[in-house]
Amino acid sequence: MGIANDIVSILPIPQVVILFFLQNMRGSRSLKILKFLNSLILLQYLPRLYPIFKMCKQVNKDMLDLFKNKIARRQATSNQQSHIKMPKWFGIAVNIVGYILASHVLGAFWYFFSIQREIDCWEYACQNESGCEFTTSCVENTFRNITHIKNLCPINPPDATVFDFGIFLYALQSGIQESTNFPQKFMQCFSWGLRNLSSFASNLNSSIYGWENFFVVVISISGLVLFMYLLGHSQTYMQETDRRDGIKRKMKIMIEPKILPMLSDYRLPSDSDRDMERTIKEVVKLILEEDEDFIMENMFSILSFKLPDSHSKKEYLKIKHNLFLDKLKKVEGLKDKDNNVLEKICEHLEPMIYTEGSYIIRQGEPLDMMFFVTQGNVLTFATNNGGSGCSSATIQFIEKEKDSLYGEEELLTWAEWPSIKMSTLPISTFAVKSHKKVEVFAIKALDLQNVVSEFPDHFNTGHWR
């Protein structure tokens, strides 16, 4: 269907048909045949206009997607190295080109209809003259009296009482139909179409001819619709441009200066800082695309923001791997495990915030997660009687201890049993309480059990057989 459409729109089939029949047409019926053949040219515009409409629609969609960074994300997901870079005015320019093409098409229709209207007048004059015979041949009977046609089809000067050419009078008076200067003819029609499309046909004075008035109505509605379309998309592009400029300013002034100090708080190896900095910049930029009011305070604020696409998920995992992979390799019970196991655990580590004085783990209650403390101070203590009495409690204070994993010994042993249920979770023998606001990354007991079941060969296989 697409190839047939292209062939019809490119090949000058109607023009060849007209040239073939034109030289042999005679008689009054030949006027109607000529008008019919000319009408075939209009059909060629339909397969031409539709692809232009689809192109403009697709370009506008791609430009808006590009502004919202969706194309860039899709490229990163498919591991493509090329980047789409377009100037800010490109989308507006595409719509202006569409407006210009519409002006050209209307100008061409005006030129075509002026010829049709002149043929109508010839038919009218021939009907009022006995013995009138129409022919397109210039060979036979070259010398003829055309005074009658000039009287009944007055152009210079016009006489609307005899025959009203309406909006096509200027085309006949200017002589563009007889002209062989194609650039002059093209610009004349284009300028007419652009002027009247821009003015919504308000300056056109039509005759009482029905199709002419319909053409004026089409120009008026098309001008209004295209103007609103152009104005709407131009406004959208400007708003998106301003929004992206605002994001860039916020990244430069409020985000980028905070990244390296924040990374130093998490005690990452110095050789990973630059890689992490680039990753965090990319993730924060994606977050700002979704929420311009986002404020970066810590890793919790970044990783707790759920972005909708798979590319951002990969970036989140990259951040978690940098944060915790080396720490997990130091944990007893995990340091001999394969990287795939540790990366899977990292994937399930979710950020949590505990306010000042909140219990993260209570002594004597089921231990349903193991976690890293990444920000803030915690109190770790146990009581002899299992209660909350302070007189018999042994209290240990840990200041910003970020490399310790809490609850790993009990939960790892629990997760290695295949048929064990949540009702048999180990009971915590200690309590962990936030001294001030605390950020932790925790893996739930059920997620840990799923990881163990996914890699049974890396754990105590005797429990799984």
Give the three-class secondary structure for 420. Answer: coil
Give start and end residues of each alpha helix (H) in 199-209: none
Q: What is the dihedral of CA 31, 33, 35, 41, to 10 degrees?
A: -150
146-150, 258-262, 267-271, 278-282: which has the minimum mean pLDDT? 267-271
The yes-or-no verdict on residue 20 having pLDDT over 90 is no
Q: Residue 381 corresponds to which amino acid?
A: F
DSSP letter at 255?
I
pLDDT digits (tens, 9 = 90+) for 382-418: 876 544 444 444 555 544 455 678 888 888 888 887 6
CA–CA gap between residue 243 and residue 168 (Å, rounded) = 48
CA–CA gap between residue 86 and residue 82 (Å, rounded) = 13
Q: Residue 422 corresponds to which amino acid?
A: M
Q: What pLDDT, on the 0 to 100 scale, is given for residue 457?
A: 80
The H-or-E segment that residue 396 falls in is strand 393-398
CB 236 within 8 A of CB 64: yes
Q: What pLDDT, on the 0 to 100 scale, is given for residue 195?
A: 93
Q: What pLDDT, on the 0 to 100 scale, is given for residue 72?
A: 46
Give start and end residues of each alpha helix (H) in 251-332: 256-265, 273-290, 299-303, 310-328
CA–CA gap between residue 414 and residue 406 (Å, rounded) = 14
